[in-house]
Amino acid sequence: MKTEDMDPSFADLDAWDTARALEKLHESQMAAVATVAPALPALARAVDAAAARLKTAGRLIYAGAGTSARIAVQDGAELLPTFGWPADRVAFVVAGGEGALLRPVENAEDSGADGAARVVDLNVEPDDVLIGVAASGGTPFTIEALRAAKARGALTIGVSSNEDALLLREAHHAVLLATGAEPVAGSTRMKAGTAQKVALNLFSTMLMVRMGRVYRGLMVDMIATNEKLRRRAVRMVATLDGCSETEAASALTTAGGDLKAAVLVRRGLDLAGARALLAQHGGRLREALAEVGRR
């Protein structure tokens, strides 16, 4: 596996002065980001397939071990506050359980049976989408979790840094991030981890766009859980409607904090009508506004 190879250009890393070492490590990180570009077509296909599967129901499930699991959990955990994606529509299959996110659990990634059992425990169904993330692409826990989800009819996506990885062969959609050898041999928290973070960011953000949770570059399903976000919500309504912030704040109060409904309230709908129109258009504010404009 290339992720286990030693990069000879970093053989003297420990002998370099700090500034030079950091420069070279930074270069390797930029190279890792660049590996995502060839994967964009595969990511696009995965996004479109996932959006179709999650249109009315289903969960987005992240599966992984070690560093890959931590990066995956970070991505999934941000979907609720940023995009208002329901908490019960995201799940995690982590080798060693949640405790392994903070402390390594011995041999956890080697148990394929545990990966499959976790998928069964979650009652994975055909409406679900499971993303298996493993730099090596050979992690038994992640592979068996993906296989079990696939057997239960779920859509599966594999993300790995090794071209011939079993994880990629087993997934419906294979996303190869060819990061190669690491500056510190085998330390996939470096190049592979960076590429995973970028790829998952792109995937989940574009998926939320396709699910109607972004309009005109704004996170219109954001959950305003603090004063900073409440001020942001007011500014967004004011921007989208062209009204004053006072008027925007009033509309948000009427809409119970629902930003998209508040915009429609500003267009003359009552709250029930705004919610019904959004439901009719799958939560897509652009389409709801277009219909208001046709009336």
Q: What pLDDT digit, counting tens, does each position of 242-283 carry?
A: 999 999 999 999 999 999 999 999 999 999 999 999 999 999
pLDDT in the model for residue 295: 73
- Over residues 17-40, the mean pLDDT reads 97
CATH 1.10.8.1080 boundaries in the chain: 227-294
Which amino acid does the sequence have at 22? L
pLDDT in the model for residue 128: 98
Q: What's phi and psi for 281, nearest 5 deg?
A: -110, 25
Q: Which pTM was predicted?
A: 0.94
pLDDT in the model for residue 195: 98
Residue 43 · residue 202 · CB < 8 Å: yes
pLDDT of 34 strictly over 90: yes
Confidence bin at 142 (pLDDT 50/70/90): very high
Which of 176, 127, 175, 124 has its CA nearest to residue 147? Answer: 124
- Over residues 87-95, the mean pLDDT reads 97
Regarding predicted confidence, which is higher, 110 or 48? 48
**Residues with a known catalytic role:** 78, 109
Distance CA 15, CA 17 (A): 7
pLDDT in the model for residue 161: 96
Tell me the sheet residues that pair with 175: 159
Per-residue model confidence as pLDDT tens digits over 156-212: 999 999 999 999 999 999 999 999 999 999 999 999 999 999 999 999 999 999 999
**Which ranges of the chain does DSSP label H, i.e. alpha helix?**
18-34, 40-53, 66-77, 79-83, 112-121, 140-151, 166-170, 191-210, 227-241, 245-254, 259-266, 271-280, 285-294
pLDDT in the model for residue 207: 98
pLDDT of 141 strictly over 90: yes
Per-residue model confidence as pLDDT tens digits over 143-152: 999 999 999 9
pLDDT in the model for residue 196: 98
pLDDT of 21 strictly over 80: yes
CATH 3.40.50.10490 boundaries in the chain: 2-210
59: left (phi over 0), alpha (psi -120 to 50) or beta: beta
Distance CA 142, CA 132 (A): 6
The owner of tokens 């290339």 is: 2
pLDDT in the model for residue 104: 85
Read off the tokens for 255: 């809409």
Out of 1.20.1340.10, 1.10.8.1080, 1.25.40.10, 3.40.50.300, the CATH code matching 227-294 is: 1.10.8.1080
pLDDT in the model for residue 1: 78
Confidence bin at 71 (pLDDT 50/70/90): very high
Considering the chain, what is the average pLDDT of its residues?
Answer: 95
pLDDT in the model for residue 56: 86
Confidence bin at 124 (pLDDT 50/70/90): very high
Residue 86 · residue 60 · CB < 8 Å: no
pLDDT in the model for residue 181: 94
| Cα 89 to Cα 59, 86, 222, distances in angstroms | 4, 5, 16
Residue 246: CB atoms within 10 A of its CB come to 10
Residues near 26 by beta carbon (within 8 Å), at least 6 away in sequence: none
CATH top-level class of 2-210: alpha beta
Question: How do beta strands 173-176 and 90-94 pair?
Answer: unpaired
- Over residues 98-121, the mean pLDDT reads 92
End-to-end CA gap in the chain: 60
Query: What one-character-per-residue DSSP string does 3-58 give?
Result: GGSB-GGGTTGGGS-HHHHHHHHHHHHHHHHHTTGGGHHHHHHHHHHHHHHTSSS-
pLDDT of 106 strictly over 90: no
